[in-house]
Each structure stands twice: as C-alpha cells, then as structure tokens.
Amino acid sequence: MSAAWIPALGLGVCLLLLPGPAGSEGAEGKSSTQEATGQAVSTAHPPTGKRLKKTPEKKTGNKDCKADIAFLIDGSFNIGQRRFNLQKNFVGKVALMLGIGTEGPHVGLVQASEHPKIEFYLKNFTSAKDVLFAIKEVGFRGGNSNTGKALKHTAQKFFTVDAGVRKGIPKVVVVFIDGWPSDDIEEAGIVAREFGVNVFIVSVAKPIPEELGMVQDVTFVDKAVCRNNGFFSYHMPNWFGTTKYVKPLVQKLCTHEQMMCSKTCYNSVNIAFLIDGSSSVGDSNFRLMLEFVSNIAKTFEISDIGAKIAAVQFTYDQRTEFSFTDYSTKENVLAVIRNIRYMSGGTATGDAISFTVRNVFGPIRESPNKNFLVIVTDGQSYDDVQGPAAAAHDAGITIFSVGVAWAPLDDLKDMASKPKESHAFFTREFTGLEPIVSDVIRGICRDFLESQQ
C-alpha cells in the first residue's frame, strides 16, 4: 500500500497589535515618566563617569522557552505616534524577559499598516540587546491598519525556513488589539492555524459604549485565536503601567505544551520500536529491519520538545538500545539505529511488550506527546502476546504490528490496536518492509489527528 503523506505543519508564535478608535486613548491611566512620554527603550551608553561593569550576555538563551515568535505591531494612523512608542516599549520588555538566544526563543517583528512590512526576521538577531535596538529603530508608518491582511501575510511569509524558522519549535502569533480590529481577522486566524501558527490575542482597553455599534463582530477574539480555551487570549486595561503584564504573558509564550496549533503528527509523538533480534532473523535481514525503522524515524521532527524515538531489541531477553530521553536530534537517532548490534536468540514478544511499556514508556508517562509502539517480528512468540498488548492499549499506547515470514497473523492482530486492518501488516519477505513504511507513517498521522479532535 502506498502512503497518504500528511504535510507537517510548522510550529510558532506571532504577536499582533491592532489599533483602537481615536477615542480609546482617553481611557489611559497614569504612567511612569517613560511611558507617559511615549519614549522608546533606550540603548544608549551611560553618561561619562564611573564605567559600569559589563555582564557577559548568555548567547544560548533560555533553553526552557523554545519558540519562534513574530511580534506584529500596529503602525497605522489610528494608534498614533505616542501609543506606537508605548507599544514598542512593551514588546521590548517582553522580548527581554523571554531570554532570546541561539538555543532559546527567536523573535522577529512585523508592522501592520496599509501594507504589512516585515521589519526583521527570526534569523536576523539572536541576542536581546540586538533585538531591543532593532525594535527601537522601527519607524512609524501610518496609513490604515489592515490587521487581517497583516496576520495572513505573517503566517504565510514570516515563518519560512529561509527566514529562520526551526523544525519542531512552536510558532506563535500574539495579536495586540487596542479596542477592536479594523478589518476581519477570522479568515486570517484560520489561515494561521492551517500553517501551524499559534495565534495569541492581547486586547488593550475596550470600545467605549458609543463605539460598540461600530464593532463588526464582538466575538472576534474567540474566532481568531488558536483555540478558544482561554489560554490564547490576554487583556490589558490600557498602555500605561504594563510592566506587571509582561511576566504572565511571557509564561504563556514559553509553555510549549499548550501550543496546540503547532502540534502535528510529525513533532508531537513518542514512537518506540520493538525489534525482533531472534536467531531466525539473521544478520542481513536484521539490517533490513533497522533500515525499516530508520525510514520511519527520519520522517519525524525529532527534538527535545518535539517527536521522540526509542528502540528495544528482544529475544528471550530485552535490551533497551536507547530511550526517549537519550537523543534529541534526528542525526544522532539515525546513527544509533544503524549501529544496533544483532543479539540472536529465542522469541518472547509478550515479555518484550511488557518490558517496553514499563521501562521505556513508564518514565515519560507525563509527556504531552501521543505514544506509539511499532513491533517488528519474523516469527511466532513463545509466550502470550494478547495480555501484554491489552495492557499497553490500556496505558494509552497505540500499537502497530509488522510481521515478516513466519509471523502468525493471529499474533499480529492480537497485538495491534483497533481497527486491526489498519494497524497490523504482513509481508513474506524482508525486502517487503519498504512499502510498509508509508503505511505506518500514514497510520500514525491518522491516529494523531483523531486524538486531537
């Protein structure tokens, strides 16, 4: 059977800022001196005198906050120069607290006006100091604020490999809306979700009663965000005194487990391979089994926050070749698979399933990823497989059974998850494993999508 390939969605974060009506500025309260004047964050050197000791910047960044983030700010006449500067101040504070670095979050900036403009990409700066300076230098464009147009442009053009997007890293859009959006953003939100972008909306102030009649859709937040579960929406009463809102927003942006719109079958699964190393296989056929395992594994976006791979070889005994937490790059995983040594011995598949559930899946039972077990065997097991397989199913593990040569069809069906016909596969020859690769990948993606509905 041929595979029905499901394209991987990217992961990310984008921040969108919408202008409010002219009257909304009156709701602004008291502010600090800097915010009241609307001045941008200063990156100037301190005045002459005693020189401040320079603290070395951590270039790696916050490794616990891996995200690709685009700040989409409003640059229209509606927001005006003063609030535009306040907006930049807030974005700068958020960027600073994120912990930008090579192995941490990466950020870029897009300005919405008559036509959206990408001010800088994810790949342009990897230090907080450079990002703060780049934000300060962004000029006010004016014109109309076409927020929906800007969000769609960001989803389609900003999060690309050439622009610096990283595989397996969440993509997030945070939309700042002062009052209400000036155009329809529901369609743009749909496009963003289709591109695997997590849309956040930060609403600033609210329309005054006289302006409510001008709001086209009062439920626009629920329709534009990634998921209408409260996590992707955030409110600030006005642009003044915003410092206390920085940390809670940053905590949201760094919680990659919640980034549902960037979760795909390629970056949000744990796949363990249970490989038959019995004497009936033989070394050359064992190499074909490892090639089968490699061809499945290399399809997924393996990272410390993405897909994870593990492998166990079994005969009468079991040997964990590597666990889910041992390797976090595709290159390392594939290299280890190639170097697995053939054991040779008897066939106790039931014990091997129980061993894998306990020792491989047990330590990661709190993982947000969906769990899969792919069993590859060439013969009949000397022990019961039905009981251990049922226990694995009860533990939330989806099993694909792949039999070769003398593997009994009854055993394969007893091990496989339901529906059996789409989770159990058989081939007479080891060379017949190759076309089954696409079937297993397709099955994993199908099961993952069904689990997200």
The least confident of 6-10, 91-95, 143-147, 280-284 is 6-10
Are the C-beta atoms of residues 402 and 375 closer than 8 Å to each other?
yes
pLDDT at res. 17: 45
Instruction: Give the span between the Cα atoms of 165 and 429, in whole angstroms.
Output: 41
- Give the number of other CB atoms < 10 A from CB of residue 177: 26
pLDDT at res. 421: 95
Identical fold for domains 13-25+59-262 and 269-452, yes or no, is: yes
333 vs 73, more confident: 333
Are the C-beta atoms of residues 183 and 152 closer than 8 Å to each other?
no
* For residues 148-167, average pLDDT: 91
Per-residue pLDDT band at 426 (split at 50, 70, 90): very high
Q: Where are the beta strands (DSSP E) in 144-264?
A: 171-178, 197-204, 233-236
Residue found under tokens 């956040």: 200
pLDDT in tens, 198-250: 999 888 877 666 656 666 667 888 888 998 889 999 888 888 889 999 999 99
pLDDT at res. 23: 38
115 vs 78, more confident: 115
Query: What ranges do the domains of the chain cover?
Result: 13-25+59-262, 269-452
Q: Which CATH code fits 269-452? A: 3.40.50.410
pLDDT in tens, 359-418: 999 999 989 899 999 999 999 999 999 999 999 999 999 999 999 999 999 999 999 999
13-25+59-262 CATH fold: Rossmann fold (3.40.50)
Are the C-beta atoms of residues 168 and 265 closer than 8 Å to each other?
no
Residues in the chain: 453
Instruction: Give the span between the Cα atoms of 324 and 308, in whole angstroms.
Output: 5
pLDDT at res. 223: 85
pLDDT at res. 205: 75
pLDDT at res. 203: 83
pLDDT in tens, 254-268: 998 889 898 889 999
- In single-letter form, the type of residue at position 348 comes to A
What are phi and psi for residue 423, nearest 5 degrees? Answer: -125, -5
Per-residue pLDDT band at 158 (split at 50, 70, 90): very high
pLDDT at 10 over 70: no
